[in-house]
């Protein structure tokens, strides 16, 4: 009986520690809000580069 009680207590302690550590959530070093801002900045950069390339091509054609 004591062994079963100890195993249950160990399981409960392990579960509590797992839940306290984030419960399997993404272990990203970048918070979600900042990650979304980085994605938006990347999309903006791509659109600016495409617009600059288009203007260069237009300037080169007579």
Question: Tens digits of per-residue pLDDT, 38-56?
Answer: 999 999 999 999 999 999 9
Give the count of domains, the chain: 1
- pLDDT average, residue stretch 5-26: 80
In a domain, residue 50? The reply is yes
In a domain, residue 8? The reply is no
Please tell me the number of Cα atoms within 13 Å of 26 on its side-chain side: 6
Could you tell me the residue range of the domain that residue 52 belongs to?
A: 33-62
User: pLDDT-based confidence at 19, cuts 50/70/90?
Assistant: confident
Contact 28, 35 (CB under 8 A): yes
Question: Mean pLDDT, the chain, as a whole number?
Answer: 84
Does the pLDDT at position 25 exceed 90? no
In a domain, residue 49? The reply is yes
Q: Look at residue 27 in the predicted model and tell me its pLDDT.
A: 59
Region for residue 25 given its phi and psi (left: phi exceeds 0; alpha: psi -120 to 50; beta: otherwise): beta
In a domain, residue 13? The reply is no
In a domain, residue 2? The reply is no
In a domain, residue 11? The reply is no
Q: How many Cβ atoms are within 10 Å of 62's Cβ, its own excluded?
A: 3
Q: How many Cβ atoms are within 10 Å of 35's Cβ, its own excluded?
A: 13
In a domain, residue 54? The reply is yes
User: For residues 50 and 33, which has the higher predicted lDDT (pLDDT)?
Assistant: 50
């Amino acid at each position: 009986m004591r062994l079963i009680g100890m195993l249950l207590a160990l399981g409960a302690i392990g579960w509590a520690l797992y839940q306290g550590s984030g419960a399997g959530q993404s272990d990203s070093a970048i918070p979600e809000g900042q990650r979304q801002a980085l994605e938006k900045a990347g999309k903006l950069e791509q659109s600016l580069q495409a617009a600059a390339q288009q203007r260069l091509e237009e300037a080169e054609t007579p």
